[in-house]
């Protein structure tokens, strides 16, 4: 049996006529740039998440750069952010001339540790960029307490978090809507993934929304009239059409992911060499990836790959040890939890159309390795 880490073709086959119709309608309309599918999809995302405003952009990385630019994460402003995440969560700060201030993460949830974060706040700190990693949001209650106490803006990297909710002030709120801005990525493997790149900025603040909408079209509020030096970064009409179909099936997809995670948990529960991810109270989990912490991780991965089971390592190198961030002056040992995670995490196959027998095969193969 071959078990892919991720396979988009299974879902395509399942809803083929819906996808084909959506694609053909978009192409036959001839409106390729910001066609009506983009605004329809933005409205659908607002309805689903509860956001007041949504702006479709070219990808999640651009969404982060645009939001960072608007929140002025530049001119050496210090921005608090986790060291264990995808590169784009930090490059958006650094490329604009802001200074990323890394924090360690929680070893059970993989998310930013706000006790460590508070210790790193100075009078130059301007914002917090929390990341909602893998299956639950960062602790947004602690995040907003710090933001209020030190008068900081908050940009939520919800690239991996479409569908995640967290309890905040007694209410479950969708990821990305507690801070000033939130962003999504529609990279194909994401919980809401397109057939190419795509991203979105969400906010409940009208002024920030208007800026984001203008920044995606070169800072123009009216064609050829530029209020800001913006970007050329629009969600593609074809991707919006495809994502509308995907969004109409999202609840089922998220439920299936949850079911798969429960099966992994059941089958791997008694293995002492493995630690399963922990979901903290007040979080509605969304299983973007299923990451275990494993003893002899690299050998286990090689064993699984030799049995044609796809795996991935999120993330092999913490950001403070990336060559391009040497100038920030961090060194090995500065973030012990993140560094340990980079040596032990392993993501197992996870996508809605995964079959139960495939999960069983993955778990049997893991058990066989540790025997």
What are the residues binding ligand PLP (CB under 6 A)? 59-61, 85-86, 88-89, 131, 157, 159-160, 185, 187, 197, 199
Q: Which is nearer to ligand PLP, 187 or 351 (CB)?
A: 187
Q: Which is nearer to ligand PLP, 310 or 367 (CB)?
A: 310
User: Within 10 Å of residue 199's Cβ, how many Cβ atoms?
Assistant: 28
The CA–CA distances, whole Å, from 138 to 34, 169, 322 equal 32, 15, 23
Q: Which is nearer to ligand PLP, 69 or 365 (CB)?
A: 69
Least distance from ligand PLP to the Cβ atom of residue 349, Å: 18
Residues 77, 54 contacting (CB under 8 angstroms):
no
Structure tokens at 95: 């490329």
Least distance from ligand PLP to the Cβ atom of residue 362, Å: 22
Q: Which is nearer to ligand PLP, 59 or 214 (CB)?
A: 59
Q: Which is nearer to ligand PLP, 155 or 294 (CB)?
A: 155
Q: Which is nearer to ligand PLP, 61 or 253 (CB)?
A: 61
Least distance from ligand PLP to the Cβ atom of residue 218, Å: 20
Full DSSP string of 77-113: -EEEEESSS-THHHHHHHTTB-EEEEE-B-TTT-SB-
Q: Dmax of the chain from CA atoms? A: 68
Structure tokens at 304: 């699984």
Q: Which is nearer to ligand PLP, 159 or 342 (CB)?
A: 159
The CA–CA distances, whole Å, from 18 to 242, 245, 250, 256 equal 9, 7, 14, 20
Q: Which is nearer to ligand PLP, 89 or 365 (CB)?
A: 89
Least distance from ligand PLP to the Cβ atom of residue 124, Å: 24
Least distance from ligand PLP to the Cβ atom of residue 86, Å: 4
Least distance from ligand PLP to the Cβ atom of residue 58, Å: 8
Q: Whole-angstrom Cα distance, residue 149 to residue 119?
A: 13
Helix, strand or coil, per DSSP, at residue 3: strand
Which segments of the chain are extended strands (E)? 53-57, 78-82, 99-103, 125-128, 153-157, 165-168, 171-174, 181-185, 199-203, 220-222, 225-226, 274-275, 283-284, 290-294, 345-348
Structure tokens at 10: 């299974």
Least distance from ligand PLP to the Cβ atom of residue 282, Å: 21
Q: Whole-angstrom Cα distance, residue 154 to residue 370?
A: 43
Q: Whole-angstrom Cα distance, residue 261 to residue 350?
A: 8
Least distance from ligand PLP to the Cβ atom of residue 320, Å: 16
Q: Which is nearer to ligand PLP, 56 or 60 (CB)?
A: 60
Full DSSP string of 309-327: B--B-S-SS-GGGSGGGGG
Least distance from ligand PLP to the Cβ atom of residue 85, Å: 5
Residues 64, 96 contacting (CB under 8 angstroms):
no
- Point out the residue whose Cβ comes nearest to ligand PLP: 60
């Amino acid at each position: 049996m071959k078990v892919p880490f991720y396979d988009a073709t299974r879902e395509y086959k399942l809803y083929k006529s819906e996808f084909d119709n959506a694609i053909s309608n978009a192409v036959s309309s001839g409106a390729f740039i910001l066609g009506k599918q983009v605004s329809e999809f933005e409205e659908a995302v607002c309805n689903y998440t509860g956001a007041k405003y949504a702006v479709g952009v070219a990808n999640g990385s651009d969404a982060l750069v645009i939001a960072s630019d608007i929140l002025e994460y530049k001119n050496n402003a210090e921005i608090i952010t986790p060291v264990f995440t995808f590169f784009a969560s930090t490059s958006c700060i650094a490329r604009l001339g802001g200074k990323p201030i890394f924090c360690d993460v929680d070893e059970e949830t993989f998310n930013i540790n706000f006790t460590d974060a508070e210790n790193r706040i100075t009078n130059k700190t301007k914002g917090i960029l929390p990341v909602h990693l893998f299956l639950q949001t960062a602790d947004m209650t602690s995040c907003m307490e710090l933001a209020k106490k030190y008068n900081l803006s908050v940009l939520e990297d919800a690239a991996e978090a479409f569908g995640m909710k967290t309890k905040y002030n007694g209410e479950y709120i969708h990821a990305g809507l507690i801070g000033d801005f939130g962003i999504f990525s529609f990279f194909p493997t994401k919980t809401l993934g397109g057939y190419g790149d795509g991203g979105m900025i969400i906010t409940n603040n009208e002024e920030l929304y208007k800026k984001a909408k203008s920044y995606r079209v070169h800072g123009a509020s009216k064609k050829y009239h530029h209020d800001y030096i913006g970007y050329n970064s629009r969600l593609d009409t074809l991707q919006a059409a495809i994502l509308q179909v995907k969004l109409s099936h999202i609840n089922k997809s998220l439920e299936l992911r949850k079911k798969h995670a429960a099966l992994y948990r059941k089958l791997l529960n008694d293995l002492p060499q493995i630690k399963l991810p922990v979901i903290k109270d007040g979080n509605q989990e969304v299983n973007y990836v299923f990451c275990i912490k494993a003893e002899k991780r690299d050998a286990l991965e090689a064993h699984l790959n030799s049995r044609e089971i796809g795996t991935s390592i999120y993330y092999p190198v913490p950001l403070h040890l990336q060559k391009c961030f040497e100038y920030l002056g961090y060194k090995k040992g500065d973030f012990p939890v993140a560094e340990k995670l980079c040596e032990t995490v392993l993501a197992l196959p996870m996508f809605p159309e995964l079959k139960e027998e495939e999960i069983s095969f993955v778990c049997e193969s893991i058990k066989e390795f540790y025997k």
